[in-house]
């Protein structure tokens, strides 16, 4: 449970087991706390969501939730939880710094979601989003990149520096965000879960596998992190790409808020 006082918003996790590896210390930052969730429910104010058990716990971020202090941070987490329930992708914008990334990682830890990460730059190509061809033991094969792994395994894909996306990767991003579709270099084709399930009612799974159709998990989400451009270096977001996200501005906490958090915690 994370709280400032009983009169403020609070984050409560039902059926969570908190294991402390050390004894009690006045300074919480010196205490390692590990959270485990099995069919738990995360509640922030009046927003509640069921937390599933992670298939690969090593992909879930740790130790970021303890840093998520302050009522402004809780409001950001509540908003992100609402968008996750509505199956909407998220765009966090703000000034340069690590605050947006820390909030996103804290949200993943809170909801026990697995992480895939990609940082966009001017040198990012389609292969960085889809597949790379690698050689192993004298044999060439295609290796799935973070976007493909997140889509097929139901993970959350964090895209850092979305304002730096070049024009050659925008069609791939737009198609993945809007239609949940992507054509891979090895011949496979990603399709959304609803369409795959409808095809599964008419055809067998062996037939769909023969067609090289791959189901995109309904738990797949995208969290984009970017800077306001042209105030900062980068490209103004393409209108079709901008319309795919639900955006929220994340500002740094004021001195009064930081001072209050130091007193409480």
Q: Which residues of 41-69 are buried (b: 16+ CB within 10 A; e: fewer)?
A: ebbbeeeebebeebeeeebbbeebbbebb
What pLDDT, on a 0 to 100 scale, did the predictor assign at position 7? 37
In SS3 terms, 76-102 reads as HHHHHHHHHHCCCCEEEEECCCCHHHH
The DSSP symbol for 163 reads: G
Q: Tell me which H or E stretch contains 118.
A: strand 115-119
- pLDDT tens digits, residue range 105-143? 999 999 999 999 999 988 898 889 999 888 888 888 899
Residue 19's DSSP bridge partners are 34
Whether 130 contacts 159, CB under 8 Å = no
- pLDDT tens digits, residue range 172-230? 999 999 999 999 999 999 999 999 999 999 999 999 999 999 999 999 999 999 988 88
2: pLDDT confidence band, cut at 50, 70 and 90?
very low
Q: Alpha-carbon distance 227 to 237, whole Å? A: 10
Q: Alpha-carbon distance 63 to 72, whole Å? A: 19
Q: Alpha-carbon distance 29 to 22, whole Å? A: 12
């Amino acid at each position: 449970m994370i709280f400032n006082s009983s009169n403020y918003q609070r984050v409560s996790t039902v059926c969570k087991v908190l294991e402390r590896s050390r004894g009690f210390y006045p300074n919480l930052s010196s205490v390692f706390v590990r959270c485990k969730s099995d069919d738990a429910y995360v509640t922030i104010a009046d927003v509640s969501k069921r937390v599933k058990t992670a298939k690969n716990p090593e992909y879930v971020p740790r130790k970021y939730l303890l840093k998520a202090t302050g009522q402004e941070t809780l409001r950001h987490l509540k908003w992100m939880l609402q968008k996750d329930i509505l199956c909407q992708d998220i765009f966090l914008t703000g000034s340069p710094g690590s605050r947006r990334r820390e909030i996103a990682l804290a949200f993943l830890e809170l909801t026990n979601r697995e992480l895939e990460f990609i940082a966009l730059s001017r040198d990012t190509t389609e292969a960085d989003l889809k597949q790379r061809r690698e050689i192993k033991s004298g044999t060439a094969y295609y290796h799935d990149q973070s976007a493909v792994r997140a889509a097929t395994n139901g993970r959350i894909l964090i895209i850092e520096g979305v304002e730096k996306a070049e024009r050659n990767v925008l069609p791939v991003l737009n198609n993945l965000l809007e239609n949940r579709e992507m054509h891979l270099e090895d011949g496979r084709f990603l399709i959304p879960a609803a369409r795959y399930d409808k095809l599964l009612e008419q055809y067998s799974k062996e037939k769909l596998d023969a067609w090289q159709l791959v189901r995109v998990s309904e738990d797949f989400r995208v969290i984009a992190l970017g800077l306001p451009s042209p105030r900062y270096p980068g490209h103004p977001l393409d209108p079709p790409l901008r319309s795919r996200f639900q955006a929220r501005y994340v500002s740094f906490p004021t001195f009064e808020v930081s001072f209050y958090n130091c007193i409480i915690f």
